[in-house]
Structure formats: C-alpha cells, structure tokens
C-alpha cells in the first residue's frame, strides 16, 4: 500500500517533539551522561606532523594524582603521520587529573619530514614521500576525456574562458564532539556505551568485534546527538580506547574529544582546486569543459576527494578532466555533508557564471539552456525517478526562484553599480541521491490505555528524525504526533541504516508506515469480534475508530484500545530485502518509486554586499528552492534547508583550516580563528519546498548545502565584476582580486 492520499499530519508543519527539551537543556546528550564512579579519559597525541616514536616512558603518569588506568595505543617504533595521532590514553578521577597524567608521560620522537600544504607537495612531485608505505604524496585521481576532445571541443565556440577556483580544507566542527561513555557490567560480560554517533547499531557491532563479544552483549545508546555531518560512523579510536580503559579500571569511563581535538582529528573535508577552461556558442550552449584539478584527502588514500563528476549537473558534450590526490600529513579526510558535491559545484557553477559574463548573457538564461534532459529510458521505466524528471524539475525551480528573488529586477551585469558597497546576486544548482533502503525494522505497539509506542534503533543527528515516527504513526492511527511515544537510538531495537547520504528519513519512513498499518490492523483484528464486526468494517477517523457494521459508530480511540484488555496490538514493518527486490520488479517500483525515491535537484540564489574598501563580504539574503518528493514534516524540511544554507555561507565566507608549514601543526583548532558565523552574519533565508508526493520520501539532509558557496561566489563576482578564486572569500582575498582587476583594466 502506498502513502495515504489524504494526509492529516504528514506534510504539515510539526514542531519537533524534543524541541523544548533541547531548548531548555533537559535533553541529555552523550556528552552529558555522568555515571556514578565515572572516570575521565584523555589521549596523548603526537605533536609532530610526521614522526616515529623512539621511546614511551609512562612511569610518572601512574604516580600522578587521580591516575586509574593507562592504555598504549601506539608503541615505540610506530610511525605517525599527522599531528594529533593517538599514542597513549589515560583514565583518571577528573578530566584535569587525566590531563596532568598525560603531561607526566615522556615520549621521544624521531621527527620526519612532512607536507601540510597542497602547493608544497605539488612542487615536490618526486618526494620525499611523507605518507604511509613510502607511496607518492601526489597520485593520479583518474583522468577522463570525451572522444577527440582536442579536435572538436572548441569548434564553433566563442573564445574560451579560463578561471581558477578552490576551496580550503574545512572541519566538521560538530558542536558535540566525538566520543562516548563506556560502562561494563561487573563480570565484564556486557558493555553499554553512550555514544555520539550517526550509526547506533554499527557502533555496537564494531565494539563487539573489537572486544570479541557476541553483538547481543554490546548496547549502544544515542538519545540525543549534537551533529556529525558525515564524521561519526563508528566508535573510532577514542571509543574503543574508552571501553579498554573502562575494562582496565573496572569503572565507567567518559572520553569525549575537547575542541582542539575535535577540529584536529574529528574529521575534515577535503580541499579542492582546479583550473577550468569552459567554452560555449555565442547563443549560450556550453560545448566544452576542461579541468585540471586536485584535492587533499589528508593522509588517506583519496576516496573522499571525488572530483570525478566534473562538470557538475549541466549537460556538456565535450569534457576533459585531469584529477590528482595530494596527500598531506593531516588526519584522513572524512565524508562531509554531500561528499564531493560542494567542491564539484564550486568548480563548475562559478565557471558557468564566468562564461555567462564573457558571452554577455544573463546566467539564468545560460543555465536554462544547458540543463540535463529528462532521460527517455527512465521516463518509460521509472517515471518518478530523478533522471526521468530532472529537466522538468530544474526548469520549474528556475522559474520559481526567478520570481521568488525578483531576479529580473535585482540582477545586473557583473561589476555594475556605484558606491563603495556593491550588491550582487549569484546562482548555483545542485543534485543529490537521498534514497533509503533496508534494514530498518520498526515496531509500533498500541496499548489498552490508547498509548502508542514506536521503536527503531535509528538516530536523530539533530535533524528532527525523532519526530518522523510520531508524524507517520499519528497520521495512520488518527492521533496527534504528541500522542506517540518514540524510542530511538538504542541498538537493542535491531538493525537500522547509518545516517549517511541523506538516507535516514527515506529509510525509516516506509518501515514506520508498514508498522503503523500493521499495528492498526492488529488492533482491528483483536477488537472486531467484540464489536460484532469484521476487521474490514473498522477504519480510523481523527481520534476515533469507525465501525461500519454498526451505523458507522464512532468509538473514541481510548475506548477502542481498551477492548484489548491484557493484550497489546503490535505491528512490525520493514523493507523487503535486496534479494526480494531483485526477484520482484513490482516490489522495487512500489518501494523505490512510490514509497521512496532517490535523486533531487535544487536551485539557490545568494545576495551579497561587498565593501570594496575593506574586502568584507556579507551575505544578506538567500533563496533556496528544493525538491524532496513527499514531505513528511514541512517545518523540519525548511529547517534542514536553512541549516544547509548556513553551513554553506560559513564555508563560503569564513571557514578554513590553517596549518603551519614549519611545525606541521594546525593553528586554529578552535572557534576563534576557525571562524564560524553567528546569527548576525547569516542572511535572511527564504525556503521554497517543492512538494512532489507522487515520488515518495527522499532525503533532504545534504542537498541544501551543496550549491550555497558557489551561489555566494557568483554573487561576489556579480557585485564586484572580478572573480575571487579561493573560498573562503576573506577580506584579503577580495582586496587582492579587486587589485588584480584594476591592474587588468
């Protein structure tokens, strides 16, 4: 059965159930868990960007006040590849004593050469290697060319435009840092952790594996979670270490990273930079896109640097791509809110505006002409999928945003305008997947007092996912969301998919629907005989069960449930397995074409004001048009889009990890010089959600942050008439671009 066609609660604006708890501080995050007798653990980290441990002397630590347990993570002889790499962990009675213990440990290092800046590594292609295995720092990331690019790409085009675009390495900066509280039972047979994680069951599994325990003996709880953005998919080293120390000390241990650790090792997004050549006909058909690009995954292999879908979104017939990974002595890059997409968007959409300027075209016209066509094969076989609809969706979105932001009145040719403060308007497009999948078993229990409980092991990262089960169940049972009790974030409720790739809402929603329907049907089956009816005679209206067999008698919900007596009505729901999907195409069409879907598009417009005397940029207004299929909670959807825009404005204007070439250390692992805008630095954000219920539920977590920075970059270009190549667009970079512009003229 698909989604109800008449939706009482689904798609309305529902305040999140835990809003008051979060706003008042009643909500207890993993960081807030304090258990009786709990110890505090801290980790001694390598201060050098590349070093070998010669000797560890921890004797004095064990004699320090408050010391309880010590765990060596990396032994003498081990080579460490970034500042912040873990060496020794200590548990003590207070956090301060744990710090004192760390300071009593003496470690001798052999300091080795390092690279922490992309330009330095690129200048030394023949080494020395400063990364594991002695492999080259700079590695090919996959080159690509359409046929005969050099012969045909620029045939009949207007002069090509060349530009350089880049974006710095940035930090996830989760407000709640990484870590967990670990508690063993007395005979060390059962482990419970309170973790800040995007993957509750996965974290329990990883710990079970590490400690060679049956997975049934490890429980992971995540009641509330203060942000992950792609950086929290397991216990990490600090989680395993906390459990080790708790086992050794036979006491609960809390190990949450401090702010400097959170920034230095809690995740970072790969940088990207590229030189782009783009060309089109004078009418505005883009014919060629050529790019030489690289990004740094830190010390990791490069999977997180995905520039492989350049050019982004637009349909371009001739493409040539040279792509490199620049490995540096920094923590391994982690997935971050739409991995790869913001970088691809910056390297495409800014070049598109430079082309529009060169052709003398309005960028909205250029974009309209170069949208990807609807895929005719998909139109036939998968008509609600994004490929079948992408041209239709983008075209509608461009029309909507054009009116919403008064583009035709506000937009002006680049650099036009008098005065010191210049205003500009810029646009960018994005796309994302956001399809859910199995397993997400969900249980709905109706009790005889009318109360309703929904249970799933899924986690709420701060997105309002906790409210989703209440909305869907309330809709099916004719109740209000606040009538539903939701229990999530507990690995003993069974498996669930990790919250990555914007898959949580589409992952859990259809399973909740099935469970709620099953619970309703179980209730009907249980009470129908007592009502002299068949189960099929019963139906739901707001707050009531209707009995068709008795003149459509309206039985108040609680009275109806009261007929359960000692029993409960339980409904279980979950996705079909992947094997079932393969056997049954209809099943796939229902679950992945009507109940849920994969693939969205979005268009965003930024307005900025640039102080041309100081180079200071303020983003003043912002418009976002987003599709996400069937909307479950319109308020939360709009909030997600606003949050994505805020994140994007931040990395467009402020955020940048800064490393010292000599020491190899990060200089701003903080919230002082790692700049994050406050509310006064944020634009007025107008969100327009396109409701396409026929497509089913699609995730919305990642898409709305993808095109924000490119839209801001284009707005700055529109304001001052020169391109600021590197994000964040800081005052010194804007002033330098303005000075270069004056030189050229």
Which residues of this chain interact with other proteins, rule CB under 8 A? 47, 65, 96, 99-100, 103, 419-421, 609, 611, 613-616, 618, 620, 653-654, 658-663, 665, 667-668, 672-673, 675, 677-681, 730-732, 735-736
Min CB(518)–other proteins separation in Å: 50
Q: In the β-sheet with 452-455, what is the strand arrangement from edge to edge?
A: 484-487, 452-455, 442-446, 569-573
What whole-number distance in Å separates Cα of residue 701 and Cα of residue 681?
A: 22
What whole-number distance in Å separates Cα of residue 478 and Cα of residue 490?
A: 27
Q: Residue 629 gets which letter from DSSP? A: B
Min CB(671)–other proteins separation in Å: 8
- Residue nearer to other proteins on the CB measure, 349 or 655: 655
- Residue nearer to other proteins on the CB measure, 450 or 728: 728
- Residue nearer to other proteins on the CB measure, 378 or 736: 736
- Residue nearer to other proteins on the CB measure, 60 or 667: 667
- Residue nearer to other proteins on the CB measure, 99 or 691: 99
Min CB(611)–other proteins separation in Å: 6
Nearest CA-CA partner of 561 in 447, 445, 444, 443: 447
Nearest CA-CA partner of 197 in 182, 185, 216, 210: 182
Residue 428: strand pairing partners: 604
- Residue nearer to other proteins on the CB measure, 582 or 614: 614
User: Which tokens is 221 given?
Assistant: 């709880």
Min CB(677)–other proteins separation in Å: 6
Burial of 608 per CB tally in 10 Å (0-12, 13-18, 19+): buried
- Residue nearer to other proteins on the CB measure, 17 or 56: 56
E-assigned strands of 230-371? 253-256, 268-269, 272-280, 286-295, 318-326
Min CB(420)–other proteins separation in Å: 6
The helix (run of H) or strand (run of E) holding residue 560 is helix 557-562
- Residue nearer to other proteins on the CB measure, 363 or 648: 648
Min CB(587)–other proteins separation in Å: 51
What whole-number distance in Å separates Cα of residue 560 and Cα of residue 555?
A: 6
Min CB(652)–other proteins separation in Å: 13
Min CB(500)–other proteins separation in Å: 31
Min CB(590)–other proteins separation in Å: 49
Burial of 201 per CB tally in 10 Å (0-12, 13-18, 19+): buried
- Residue nearer to other proteins on the CB measure, 246 or 619: 619
Under 8 Å between Cβ of 410 and 607: yes
Min CB(423)–other proteins separation in Å: 9
- Residue nearer to other proteins on the CB measure, 100 or 354: 100
User: Which tokens is 24 given?
Assistant: 């008042």
Sequence-ordered alpha helix ranges (H) in 257-373: 259-265, 341-359, 363-369
- Residue nearer to other proteins on the CB measure, 66 or 494: 66
What whole-number distance in Å separates Cα of residue 170 and Cα of residue 395?
A: 33
Q: In a 3-state reduction of DSSP, which class is residue 209?
A: helix
User: Is the bond leading into 439 cis (omega within 30 degrees of zero)?
Assistant: yes
CA distances from 650 to 37, 130, 700 (A): 41, 31, 19
Min CB(38)–other proteins separation in Å: 20
């Amino acid at each position: 059965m698909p989604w109800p066609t008449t939706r009482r609660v689904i798609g309305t604006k529902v305040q999140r159930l835990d809003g008051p708890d979060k706003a008042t501080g009643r909500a207890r995050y993993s960081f807030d868990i304090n258990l009786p007798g709990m110890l505090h653990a801290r980790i001694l980290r390598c201060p050098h960007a590349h070093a070998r441990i010669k000797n560890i002397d921890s004797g004095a630590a064990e004699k320090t006040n408050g010391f309880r347990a010590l765990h060596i993570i990396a032994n003498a002889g081990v080579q460490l590849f970034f500042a912040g790499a873990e060496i020794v962990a200590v548990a003590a009675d207070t956090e301060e004593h744990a710090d004192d213990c760390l300071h009593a440990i003496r470690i001798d290092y052999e300091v080795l050469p390092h690279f922490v800046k992309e330009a330095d590594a690129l200048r030394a292609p023949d080494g020395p290697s400063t990364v594991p295995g002695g492999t080259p720092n700079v590695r090919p990331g996959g080159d690509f060319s359409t046929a005969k690019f050099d012969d045909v790409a620029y045939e009949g085009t207007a002069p090509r435009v060349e530009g350089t675009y880049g974006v710095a390495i940035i930090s996830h900066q989760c407000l709640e840092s990484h870590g967990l509280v670990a508690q063993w039972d007395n005979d060390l047979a059962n482990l419970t952790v309170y973790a800040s994680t995007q993957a509750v069951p996965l974290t329990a599994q990883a710990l079970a594996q590490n400690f060679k325990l049956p997975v049934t003996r490890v429980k992971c709880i995540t009641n509330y979670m203060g942000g992950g953005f792609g950086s929290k998919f397991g216990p990490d080293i600090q989680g395993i270490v906390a459990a080790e120390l708790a086992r050794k000390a036979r006491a609960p241990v809390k190990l949450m990273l401090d702010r400097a650790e959170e920034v230095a090792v809690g995740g970072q997004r790969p940088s990207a930079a590229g030189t782009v050549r783009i060309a089109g006909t004078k009418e505005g058909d883009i014919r060629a896109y050529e790019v030489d690009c690289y990004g740094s995954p830190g010390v990791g292999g490069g999977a997180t640097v995905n520039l492989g879908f350049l050019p982004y979104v637009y349909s371009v017939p001739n493409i040539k791509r040279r792509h490199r990974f620049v490995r540096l002595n920094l923590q391994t890059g982690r997935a971050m809110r739409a991995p790869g997409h913001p970088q691809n968007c910056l390297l495409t959409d800014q070049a598109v505006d430079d082309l529009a300027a060169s052709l003398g075209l309005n960028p909205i016209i250029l974009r309209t002409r170069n949208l990807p066509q609807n895929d005719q094969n998909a139109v036939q076989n998968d008509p609600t999928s994004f490929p079948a609809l992408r041209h239709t969706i983008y075209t509608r979105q461009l029309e909507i945003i054009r009116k919403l932001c008064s583009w035709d009145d506000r937009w002006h040719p680049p650099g036009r305008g008098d005065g010191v403060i210049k205003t500009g308007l810029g646009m960018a497009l994005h796309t994302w997947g956001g399809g859910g999948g199995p397993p997400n078993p969900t249980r709905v229990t109706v009790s005889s007092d009318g109360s309703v409980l929904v249970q799933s092991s899924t986690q709420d990262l701060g997105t309002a996912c906790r409210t989703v089960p209440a909305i869907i169940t309330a809709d099916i049972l004719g109740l209000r969301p606040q009538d539903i009790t939701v229990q999530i974030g507990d690995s003993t409720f069974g498996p669930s998919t990790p919250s990555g790739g914007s898959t949580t809402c589409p992952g859990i929603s259809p399973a909740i629907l099935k469970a709620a329907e099953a619970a309703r049907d179980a209730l009907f089956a249980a009470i129908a005989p007592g009502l002299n009816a068949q189960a099929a005679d019963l139906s739901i209206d707001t707050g009531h069960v209707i009995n068709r067999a008795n003149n459509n008698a309206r039985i108040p919900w609680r009275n109806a449930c009261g007929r359960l007596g000692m029993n409960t009505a339980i409904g279980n729901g979950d996705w079909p397995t992947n094997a079932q999907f393969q056997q049954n195409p209809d099943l796939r069409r229902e679950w992945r074409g009507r109940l849920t879907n994969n693939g969205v598009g979005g268009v965003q417009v930024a307005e900025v004001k640039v102080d041309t005397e100081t180079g200071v940029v303020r983003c003043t207004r912002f418009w976002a048009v987003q599709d996400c299929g069937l909307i479950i909670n319109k308020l939360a959807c709009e909030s997600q889009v606003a949050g994505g825009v805020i994140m994007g404005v931040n990395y467009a204007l402020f955020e940048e990890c800064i490393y010292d070439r000599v020491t190899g250390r990060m200089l701003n692992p903080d919230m002082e010089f790692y700049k994050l805008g406050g509310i006064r630095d944020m634009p007025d954000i107008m969100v327009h959600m396109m409701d396409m219920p026929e497509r089913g539920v699609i995730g919305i977590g990642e898409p709305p942050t993808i095109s924000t920075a490119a839209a801001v970059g284009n707005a700055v270009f529109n304001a001052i008439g020169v391109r600021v190549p590197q994000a964040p667009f800081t005052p010194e970079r804007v002033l330098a671009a303005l000075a270069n512009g004056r030189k050229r003229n």
